[in-house]
Amino acid sequence: MTTTMAHTEKQGGGWLLGETPTGRVFTPERCSDEHRLMAQTTREFVANEVLPALERMEQKDWACVRQLLHRCGELGLLGVDAPETYGGVELDTVAAVIVAESLAASASFGATFGAQCNLAIIPLLFFGSDPQCARYLPGLVSGETVGAYALSESSSGSDALSAKTRATRQADGSFVLNGEKMWITNGGFADLFIVFAKVDGEQFSAFIVERTAPGVSTGQEEHKLGLRGSSTTPVILQDAQVPADNLLGEIGLGHKVAFNVLNYGRFKLCASTSGGAKTALAESARYAAERKQFGQAIAEFGAIKHKLGEMSARAYAVESMLYRVAGAIEARIGEQAGPSGEAKLAAFEEFAIEASILKVAGSEMLDYLLDENIQVHGGNGFVEDYPAERHYRDARVNRIFEGTNEINRLLIPGMLARRALAGRLALIPAAKQLQEEILQPAPVDAPSDDPLAGAKRVSASLKKVVLLVLGVAMQTFGDSLRDQQEVLSFTADIVMDAFSAESVTLRASAAADTSRASLHADAAQVAVQAAATRSEAAAREALAAMSSGDALRTQLGALRRLLRGTPANTVAARRRLAEAAVSRAGYMFEG
């Protein structure tokens, strides 16, 4: 399965510089028949085998969960990233997204599957030696072996590198591990763990630890708000014996394993949120069409149309970013020579900024949709008879794991600033050019018949708002910018909105000649207008925290000028989107 991406972007963060031509980015509309077949296979598996087992999974029937993982292996779903040598089917990045999206209807099983694919198979593929891959990957890819990833500890979650688990080197080169890991997904029934520990208490390193090794045990299942059909336990290492051959990567380079696995995990988490959003929209649209109040379907009320329209536009925005990044990663992988694991590692590292954007934007989009899904269901949304309440509980953890959203917000502008200072990304010259541009008279917008003309202008301007705010922040704080978390978080919000606005505008432009062109334009307009409103507020807060007097007035003037313009009629656009959601009983851009 290959993704046709002759012209996709090559550099993480590069989209902030200059214009991205239409047709240059990957969109869901460019998926191949093979991609669609993969989606269908996965959805049928979920509908016929996973959803009927939901109750058993929630009762912690781990034999049932293992059996379902094994079925995933048979269907090739666990092997989308792995080469054939290890039993995989090695499809492209878009196919991996499609599988994760399609599995999202059961968040619990999605978490189990995600831990296996993203947290056990990926570290081995990225960092495993040939003998390690040959020994462990075939079992993980077939689903006979279950994997887990043990990084967090009770006193080190976000600050993962301060782990206390210790690996003591033995005379024969082997290691003895002591410590306790917390909140480990698949902990209750995993056969092997990727464990992080400090060699001789100092050098943070990764190890492959088998459950049957002496000194390895797991604790009680956690009682969780959601994801009750997935296992979460402590992993206890008491003089656990780990052979020398089971060091993963190099001693002291465990952070490389941890951070790169996180890059991948954040990207895939977004795919799950995108899939979850489509499930929620379908539930809301169906319920709104059936439920009658005051003698009519609630879907007829403007307030409910607003919700369905807004849900559609938010799902569209995240989906557009997700597929754009998937395409860019795939193009980057295609450029690299050498083993596919190394090529993937380099590509995901390049797009680490976008992975953080996707993680935050996806998790917050899904929580918004699931909250509205309950609201559309009224009292029925609050009781267990309908799935809305379970989805709502299940999704909450998305803002906590794979790096909390606070940490990811700090990373987004932090990585941009670091790449700019290292000369890898020409943001500083672009910010200087913007300063000059702002001193010139404002250009007059030529009248246009293009329904997306306004969205295109705003989307270009939002990138300049990023340059304005990040430029002022770098100039004002220099090296101490990392201590200015509020400014960094506001900047991250603007970066996310700028990426979202451009992604939807490019996608809607690319769909201009299709039968759904007007719906694409509606979704893009709603998303872009909201992005502009949010970004203006965030920029005002950030600028006022950095400047005062004439300097602040000049910056606010520049901001107003960048975001000037007449608002689109998004009330009408949401209504049209809502009507499409009801008539299709779900997401209008699928299939």
Give yes or no: 579 in active site.
no
Is 92 within 8 Å of 34 (Cβ atoms)?
A: no
User: Of 40, 59, 85, 158, which one interacts with ligand FAD (CB under 6 A)?
Assistant: 158
**Piece in contact with ligand FAD (CB under 6 A), picked from 240-248, 399-407, 447-455, 543-551:** 399-407
Exposure string (b/e) for 248-273, b if CB count within 10 Å is 16 or more? bbebeebebbbebbbbbbbbbbbbbb
What SS3 state is found at 384? coil
Q: Under the criterion CB under 6 A, does residue 407 sit at the interface with ligand FAD?
A: yes
Closest contact distance (angstroms) between CB of 233 and ligand FAD is 10
Structure tokens at 514: 């299709």
Is 50 within 8 Å of 107 (Cβ atoms)?
A: no
Q: Under the criterion CB under 6 A, does residue 150 sit at the interface with ligand FAD?
A: yes
Helix (H) or strand (E) holding 208: strand 203-210
Best CA proximity match to 113, nearest among 196, 46, 170 = 46
CB neighbour class for 207 (10 Å; exposed up to 12, middle 13-18, buried from 19): buried
Q: Under the criterion CB under 6 A, does residue 232 sit at the interface with ligand FAD?
A: yes
What SS3 state is found at 9? coil
Q: Under the criterion CB under 6 A, does residue 233 sit at the interface with ligand FAD?
A: no
Identify residues 456-485 at the interface with ligand FAD (CB under 6 A).
Answer: 485
Q: Under the criterion CB under 6 A, does residue 261 sit at the interface with ligand FAD?
A: no
Closest contact distance (angstroms) between CB of 254 and ligand FAD is 12
Identify the active-site residue in 402, 502, 536, 579: 402
**Piece in contact with ligand FAD (CB under 6 A), picked from 152-160, 275-283, 316-324, 421-429:** 152-160
Q: Under the criterion CB under 6 A, does residue 152 sit at the interface with ligand FAD?
A: yes
Q: Which is nearer to ligand FAD, 487 or 527 (CB)?
A: 487
Closest residue to ligand FAD, judged by C-beta, is: 157
Q: Under the criterion CB under 6 A, does residue 106 sit at the interface with ligand FAD?
A: no
Q: Which is nearer to ligand FAD, 146 or 506 (CB)?
A: 146
Closest contact distance (angstroms) between CB of 224 and ligand FAD is 6
Exposure string (b/e) for 393-428, b if CB count within 10 Å is 16 or more? ebbbbbbebbbbbbbbbbbbbbbbbebbeeeebebb
Rounded to an integer, what distance in angstroms lies between the CA atom of residue 301 and that of residue 282?
18
Here's the x/- map for ligand FAD, 161-190, by CB under 6 A: it reads as ----------------------xxx-----
Q: Under the criterion CB under 6 A, does residue 115 sit at the interface with ligand FAD?
A: yes
Q: Under the criterion CB under 6 A, does residue 430 sit at the interface with ligand FAD?
A: no
Is 170 within 8 Å of 151 (Cβ atoms)?
A: no
Is 412 within 8 Å of 496 (Cβ atoms)?
A: yes
The half-sphere exposure of 235 on its side-chain side, counting CA atoms within 13 A, is 35
Number of residues that bind ligand FAD (CB under 6 A): 21
Best CA proximity match to 165, nearest among 63, 238, 103, 104 = 238
**Piece in contact with ligand FAD (CB under 6 A), picked from 162-170, 394-402, 517-525, 569-577:** 394-402
Query: Rule CB under 6 A: which residues touch ligand FAD?
Result: 115, 119, 149-152, 157-158, 183-185, 224, 227, 232, 397, 400-401, 404, 406-407, 485
Known catalytic residues? 402
